[in-house]
Amino acid sequence: MSMSAALSSVTSVKVAVNGVHLHCLRTGGGEHAVLLLPGMLGSGETDFGPQIENLNKKLFTVVAWDPRGYGHSRPPDRDFPVEFFERDAKDAVDLMKMLKFKKVSLLGWSDGGITALIAAARYPSYINKMVIWGANAYVTDQDEEIYQGIRDVSKWSERTRKPLEALYGFDYFARTCEKWVDGIKQFKHLPDGNICRHLLPLVQCPTLIVHGEKDPLVPSFHADFIHKHVKGSRLHLMPEGKHNLHLRFADEFNKLVEDFLQ
């Protein structure tokens, strides 16, 4: 196999971590390890196609994981105890350590951005740099209304629904989305709707926050709050970006990320 063919191939790996078998996709042969963290109900394959395909494979080794209960990291079925983000953060870091990476950078989308923030705060010496988008550190009344609006997956657009339905089958997909809404609403009952605001001052790595100004799921005050409380962080606004800006504007996003990570 030629060197470039070897670099561009994507391998599927399952690793025993914290009592579950976690699935991930791995590509590239670069020095710099990068973990892609998907959003709610997400997986490497459904959430990060253009990143797995096009992030520079000479500079980076890219791993896209499926959190427990998502994608191909099943069984177990996904559940949402109040510490589910903390559990994902520990799983993600332990997975990368099992894969023998000495240090990693994190690219976290949506729920994966929350997981990345927690991982960076909890394991500062292990995290190199971090890019997050579509994340929030707390839950407000406005957020709760938005979540209520996505609870019933039969109301989702066909384009968003199709890949997840193909991955999970309708029943598991629908049931898990409802469970997610209940899971995320738990934070509403905590002081300040807190998910991870107390951890933001503990983040030490260089951090880039990207926000799509047309994101219908995450109001911009969330990006502003994270930017304000993660010291030295950079905030990059994409005026036309929605929640899936890394898919819709993949080339622009990938270039932004590569420049930041180097």
| β pairing state of 127-133 and 104-109 | parallel
- DSSP character at residue 28: -
Cα Rg of the chain (Å, integer):
17
110 classed as catalytic: yes
* Annotated catalytic residue within 32, 211, 222, 243: 243
CA–CA separation, 15 and 72 (whole Å): 11
C-beta of residue 145 within 8 angstroms of C-beta of residue 154: no
CA–CA separation, 161 and 185 (whole Å): 22
The type of residue at 203 is V
243 classed as catalytic: yes
* Annotated catalytic residue within 47, 111, 215, 222: 215
Return the number of other C-beta atoms located less than 10 Å from residue 225's C-beta: 16
79 classed as catalytic: no
Evaluate the CA torsion angle 16, 19, 24, 26 in order and state its sign. negative
CA–CA separation, 116 and 92 (whole Å): 9
* Annotated catalytic residue within 73, 105, 110, 233: 110
Catalytic residue set: 110, 215, 243
